[in-house]
Amino acid sequence: MRKMPLPDPEMMEHWKRDFSAATLQRGERYAEQGLVQIQSHGESRIDSTCRGSGGNVYRQRIIITARPSGQCHVRGNCSCPHWLQGLEQPTPRQDGAEDRRGRMVCYELMLVDDHSSCALRVRKGTREEHGIRYSRIHSLYELLYEPPKYVKEEDLRILRQLSAQNAPYGQERGYTLKGHEGGELLQRVLDTGRLMFIEGLPLLQQGAERRAQFRWVRLDNGDYRGMWYCGEQPLNCILPLIPLFYFDIDTKEVATSSTRSTIACRPPPPCRKNSSTASSQPRT
């Protein structure tokens, strides 16, 4: 088999931006482990196989063509049960142009498990005289593969990252944000200026970075509770991402919190048994 020519590096960098870091790392790991084999190829076609779980071997065909603008048009299919067909990069959009009907993609911040995690849900927003009216989006595919004109290029990048998660409940329960990738994704959403929390309230704003410090606060019953502070002011909602983000529900601001990660690793002081009449409020 003749050696396959290397693709244009600039074209590949442009194409790689359409995939999350986790997806790219998984693909590179499969290749390094020898699980992917190229069977044949042409100037714009690649036929390959991939060995999956249980020793199953799946067949792929990928067709890549370069447009005069320098963008890639990608189509592919796979014999595995979970595949995306007709994957392609949309035509560039004029992000500065507002939709005449006031339509836009909005993102709902969801606090999960008593603020111990957070998620995003995609909504369709329409500007009206008295605010923004939100409506449900059943699937990301209706925005990704036949995107309406109000879907901007920045939205497509965010939607691709969310779609790559393969969340079991998808839009119904939101897409959970975790770690570095979650922090990067939340910042991208903040940059759009279309992040919301509760219908009827103003959109959330990018706040100033706050210095966060973790403390163990003693309660009236003798137990301790971990809390975050900025100076002497408690930060009641910290989003556990990398970096940390705070959410000020009163000012409707979201931004990063700078801190040393080792602070949160300190064990709590020893506590005594709870009294049946003791209060669980922090001491002031």
Tens of pLDDT, residue by residue over 147-181, are 888 999 999 999 988 887 766 666 778 899 999 88
Q: 25 and 50: one domain?
A: yes
The model's pLDDT over 122-145, given as tens digits with 9 standing for 90+, comes to 999 999 988 999 999 887 877 887
Q: 108 and 198: one domain?
A: yes
In percent, the amount of the chain with pLDDT more than 70 equals 70
Residue 163, domain extent: 103-206
Our count of domains for the chain comes to 3
Task: Say if residue 107's pLDDT is above 90.
Answer: yes
Name residues whose C-beta falls within 8 Å of residue 78's C-beta, 6 or more positions apart in sequence: 50, 58, 59, 60
Whether residue 97 lies inside any domain: the answer is: no
Q: 194 and 175: one domain?
A: yes
- At residue 103 the predicted structure's pLDDT band, cuts being 50, 70 and 90, is very high
Closest by alpha carbon to 7, among 59, 70, 58? 70
Whether residue 84 lies inside any domain: the answer is: no
Q: 156 and 199: one domain?
A: yes
Q: 114 and 195: one domain?
A: yes
* 260-278 average pLDDT score: 51
**Pick from 11-15, 74-78, 93-97, 110-114: least confident:** 93-97
* 254-262 average pLDDT score: 73
pLDDT of residue 208: 92
> What is the DSSP-derived secondary structure letter of residue 186?
H
Whether residue 31 lies inside any domain: the answer is: yes
Closest by alpha carbon to 64, among 3, 141, 6, 144? 6
Whether residue 135 lies inside any domain: the answer is: yes
Q: 166 and 118: one domain?
A: yes
Q: SS3 breakdown of the chain: % helix, strand, coil, rounded to 5?
A: 20, 35, 45
pLDDT of residue 106: 96
Strands (E), 138-252: 175-177, 195-196, 205-206, 210-211, 213-218, 224-230, 233-235, 238-239, 244-248
The model's pLDDT over 188-221, given as tens digits with 9 standing for 90+, comes to 999 999 999 998 889 999 999 999 899 998 988 8
Residues in the chain: 284
* 98-113 average pLDDT score: 90
* 87-116 average pLDDT score: 74
Q: 182 and 134: one domain?
A: yes
pLDDT of residue 1: 44
* 21-46 average pLDDT score: 80
What type of residue is 232? E
* 246-263 average pLDDT score: 80
Whether residue 283 lies inside any domain: the answer is: no
Whether residue 41 lies inside any domain: the answer is: yes
Tokens of 163: 């779609």
CA 28 to chain centre: 21
The SS3 of residue 3 is: coil
Whether residue 60 lies inside any domain: the answer is: yes
Q: Is the Cβ–Cβ distance between 235 and 211 less than 8 Å?
A: no
Q: 172 and 248: one domain?
A: no
CA angle in degrees (0–180, nearest 5) for 8-13-18 = 130
Q: 181 and 245: one domain?
A: no
Whether residue 153 lies inside any domain: the answer is: yes
pLDDT of residue 264: 44
Q: 144 and 171: one domain?
A: yes
**Pick from 22-31, 77-86, 154-163: least confident:** 77-86
pLDDT of residue 63: 78
From 190, 206, 222, the end of a domain falls on: 206
* 244-255 average pLDDT score: 93
Element holding 121 (H helix, E strand) = strand 117-128
